Copies of this chain bind each other. A is one copy, B any other.
Amino acid sequence: MLEIICVGNELLIGKTLNTNAHWLAKHVTSLGLTVRRITVTRDEVDEIAAVLREALKRKPRFIITTGGLGPTFDDKTLEGIASGLDRKLHVDKKALDMVKEKYESYLKQGKIDRVELTPARMKMATLPEGAEPLHNAVGTAPGMLLKVDSTSIIALPGVPPEMEAIFDESVVPLIRKEAGKSGFFERSIYTDRIMESNLAPLIDQAMRDNPRVYIKSHVYTEGSQQSSEGRPHIEVHFSTTGQTSRSASERLDKAIASLSRLIENNGGRVKPA
């Protein structure tokens, strides 16, 4: 079980669409772990600290934060994590080496004139005590890993390619170890000529007959004035977790066949994805 905490006023004023949460949820799920909650919070130390403490109480195996690791005044995630855990911040030697190395490579590439460790740059190497930095192959600010009891807290940058690179390099191995071989499997069918309210009892029955498959309907909206019931065009999403893709596949096949039959017997039309 895993929680995601996204830090950034830009998400709360509707300036930025939260594609990071979407990307992380998709990747974590496909690795076989369950995302229990996503929380979006402001660039404020007390808020970040409070959200972290609340998440820790639910004892998830992982908490992944995004955003707030950069050099500007409003990058407050590590300060918020330190405050939430009552830990001090300190300049981490390994993190400082990572930051230095980046600026040295920028110097070599002629992008800067000299390597100067300004306060804004030192900030990116300032971690809560007990944390370790995670290598950032794309940008400057390292990620962070900190274990607290049974929870691993992982802080990733908000810039999407940096977040994705650290996730792929350092987080995937940790999640794989936890999730083992279990995986998430999903498939969809599309149906029309049946209303969602008439589909509802059929889904209930198909789920009773296929207890390990979760079935959820999603109303399609083509154009902004289409109603769910006025012009029924519905995606039905089937998902299951399992150790092998073959057994999962068989379960999904069976559930799809049984719901498709029910839909057709009730006047609906089924189109495979």
Contacts and interface: CB of A to CB of B under 8 A. Distances in A.
Interface of A: 9-19, 21-30, 34-43, 47, 51, 54, 70-74, 102, 106, 109, 111-112, 118-121, 123-124, 138-140, 159-162, 164, 184, 186, 195-201, 203-204, 207, 214, 216-219, 221, 224-230, 237, 239
Contact of A13 (B25, B42, B72): B25
Contacts of A121: 197
Contacts of A230: 106, 109, 111, 139
A248 to B, nearest CB: 15
B40 A13 contact: no
Protomer copies: 2
A38 to B, nearest CB: 4
Contacts of A37: 12, 39-42, 47, 51
A165 to B, nearest CB: 9
A40 B26 CA distance: 14
- The 7 A-B residue pairs whose C-beta atoms are closest, nearest first, are A14-B26, A14-B25, A120-B200, A38-B40, A71-B197, A72-B200, A140-B229
A17 B15 contact: no
